[in-house]
Amino acid sequence: MAGTSKQARKKRALSPERPTETSQSSAEEEDVDTSSHVLTDVSTDHSDENYKESESSSASDSESSSNEEEEEEEDEEEEAVKNQKKRKAIMQSTSFISVVGKWVNGCGSSSMDASKNQFSGTVPSSASRLSPQLNLLWNHFDQTIKETRLTAATFNCLTSVPRCTQTSSGIYGGFAINCGGPNIEINQTIFSSNSQSIGGASYFQSDDGRWGVSNIGFQSDEDGAFPTIVSTSNIIQNTHDQELYQTALGAPSSLAYYGLTMLNGVYKVELHFAEISITSDGTWKSLGQRLFDIFIQGDRKEKDFDIRAAANGSFSAVVKSYHINVTQNVLEIHLLWSGKGTCCVPDTWTYGPLISAVRVIAEFELPKSSPSKTGKLSAILGSCILATALMVGCIILHVMRRRRRKLKIKSFNLQNAVEASMGAWEIPCVEVKPQIFTFNQIRIATEDFHEKNKLGQGGSGSVYKGALADGTMVAIKQLSCSADKDNQEFINEVGTISAVQHRNLVKLLGCCVEGNCRILVLELLENNSLYQALFKKKLSLDWTTRFIICIQIAQGLTYLHEESRTRIVHRDIKAGNVLLDRKLNAKIADFGLAKLFGDDKIHITTRVAGTIGYLDPEYAIRGKLTEKADVYSFGILLLEILSGRSNINTQLPEEQIFLREWAWQLYEEKRIENLADESLGGNFAMEEFARTVHVALLCAQSTAEMRPKMSEALSMLTGSLDIKLTINRSGFSAHHNQLSLQGSNTTFRQTTF
């Protein structure tokens, strides 16, 4: 080729560079160079998986260049890249206008995005080797790829220019898609399967030709590639169509759905969303944020759309509806990530657009089918029905009977286990034991789990307000349907709460076990959780109220550890598991992780469970559980009550991110008053505040043997046991602290904090 030596071309092929970002504007919005370009090869170094692109020079203006020389140069380029193990290319909006020569030979394992260009002429048959990792949308091809169902007319019509006249005239009046899942029927609408895991540059068209989906963007590292299909087994709130939200389809950059050969007219477009990757349970897993834009027919309908915000939480459904006029037989729904939000919380590749289902409904009267088409369709359907009806009916009936029988056995076994767990305890002074409710009773009590009755949602399920038949107001805790290990936690929670009765522990009224339903019926505490009061500012808590709450939590833990017939370690003491009644009295809830201790056991070794930030360091590292694990969590919770902030907050200055360390620093510097919640406005009893800070730091020591028992912590809070703290610089941050209890022979020393 003119102006380019063979050596220079070979060197450029061997040393490809990372591609730069290209314009996303359509060809109609740019001045396109009409000279021919030659597409020769695109390759990527497999060792670091970076995209690299090698583009051949422009065709020589000289008419004297021979075909033999061009073929020789192409052979050299192919030789230079033939040992590359993996090829991925992005050539979107590069304004190529034709294909000359061979089509990227030998790259059957590649993925290529050549959409939004000006390609014309014949689609080379060799391009089919890239399928489905090939995206040729929005071009000017004039033939069909023989090895696929995709016609060049379909490729060409998906653009802003009026080329859709090349496709068939409109014949469809809508479609419905179950994104990431199988075919399902919802309210007499068939949501067709979209369970294919599409790659970094690919286009998939449905079997009936009604719709297609395009994915642009590729991400991978040593942890694996971007997961385009996401699924969950959790119960999805705010919907009766659970199956529709159990799966979702995502993309790292761009996800577009196209309605093909549609009748022109006005349609209602429903986009179904549910955030099933990022939680809303107040833990670090809820710190992620997914933001993307929604375009329909090129118009932006939503900017920085946040599924959780729109649905009021994770695992909750939300439907966005739009009225769209289709004028060229094609509908485009485009979800685009523009780099906002987080990328890696709670897992790598947790970002980008995510959608559960798409439904498009015509808002005009559909034309009646012609007699010939109707007759053919009726004949085909009649034959299929006659041939398969009996066989399918028998299979379905058999499967349903077996499933019902297995479900009944499983439900019966679980109910027996729950009743045995409740009956294994003899609860003194309690005349009415927890009862077993039917699911229908629960459904009526919650008005079919209506959204207006929803009190909150955590990692284990949702909580609703309900009214029993006798008018008793209750809290209904609906646990997520999951594995047998969670059934064991359910049995454990029912048995544990049934076994203990204390004014500072939430009372269990009963439970429901039917099929996969696992529901607890608890006493209703009108002011929700301490988490809502402290961090969501739903309540204004003055100092006196906060101090009483601290004492009441300590009383509840003291009962569990030292006063109940069997010692119980809660294992998940945190603000979200402390509930407040109408008078703001505190009660400890959620005993799903509780462990029972025999009198002869000092500790037990068990699977580590709890919430990050509240976990005892020794327990987290070694798995050895004692009552001191609850003492540590109690110390952290005290600091949160005092400060009105969570124990980890990355939005604060570096020295304040971790509440425990910051409180210790203020204590050393004799500035503990700076720890007080600003909402208190300085209105607190300094002596009580300082005493509570001292108890919190004493309980939150890293070494379990240096923490007090809960009864001692309670006595120190109430002032019946004095505390004297002496600071020596040698331990934590070059400081060592000796904490002694006056009136007790026990001495606690903090060697590391």
Radius of gyration for the alpha carbons in the chain, expressed in angstroms and rounded: 33
677 in catalytic set = no
* DSSP string for 592-643: TT-EEE-TT-S-EE----S-TTTS-HHHHHH-EE-THHHHHHHHHHHHHHHH
Residue the block writes with tokens 């995502």 = 250
Tokens encoding 135: 């995206």
> Residue 210 and residue 177: Cα distance in Å, rounded?
10
Enumerate helices (H) and strands (E) in the chain, giving the number of each: 14, 37
β-bridge mates for residue 259, sequence order: 211, 331
Task: Report how far apart the first and last C-alpha atoms of the chain are (Å, whole number).
Answer: 72
Residue 415: exposure state from Cβ atoms within 10 A (0-12, 13-18, ≥19):
middle
Peptide bond preceding 252 in cis form (omega within 30 of 0): no
* Nearest partner of 321 among 356, 361, 352, 366, judged by Cα: 361
Closest alpha carbon to 635 in 548, 561, 700:
700
What is the rounded CA–CA span in Å between residue 737 and residue 731? 7
3-class secondary structure per residue, 190-216: EEEEECCCCCCEEEEECCCCCEEEEEE
Characterize 45-67 residue by residue with b for buried, 16 or more Cβ atoms within 10 angstroms of its Cβ, and e for exposed.
eeeeeebbbbbbbebeeeeeeee
CA distance 624 to 632: 14
Angle made by CA atoms 53, 48, 290, in degrees to the nearest 5? 90
Q: Which two tokens stand for residue 267?
A: 């349609």
Q: Of these residues, 41, 113, 281, 572, which one is catalytic? A: 572
Which residues, including other chains, have CB under 8 Å from residue 77's CB and lie 6 or more apart? 9, 10, 13, 40, 41, 54, 56
Among the listed residues 579, 446, 587, 450, the one whose alpha carbon sits nearest the alpha carbon of residue 519: 446
Q: Look up residue 307 and give its amino acid.
A: I
| 454 annotated ligand binder | no
Q: Are 529 and 539 in contact (CB under 8 A)?
A: no
Per DSSP, 107 falls in state -
Determine the residue type at 349.
W
Beta strands in 33-181 (DSSP E): 88-90, 111-113, 120-121, 134-135, 140-141, 174-179
- Token pair listed for 72: 């020789």
- DSSP one-letter code for 29: G
Cβ contact 179:249 at 8 Å: yes
Residues contacting residue 246 through CB under 8 Å, at least 6 positions apart: 181, 231, 232, 233, 236
How far apart (Å, rounded) are the C-alpha atoms in residues 140 and 153? 8
Describe the crossing of helices 659-668 and 686-699 by its angle, rounded to 10 degrees: 120
Q: Which residues are annotated as a binding site for ATP?
A: 477
Q: Catalytic site residues?
A: 572
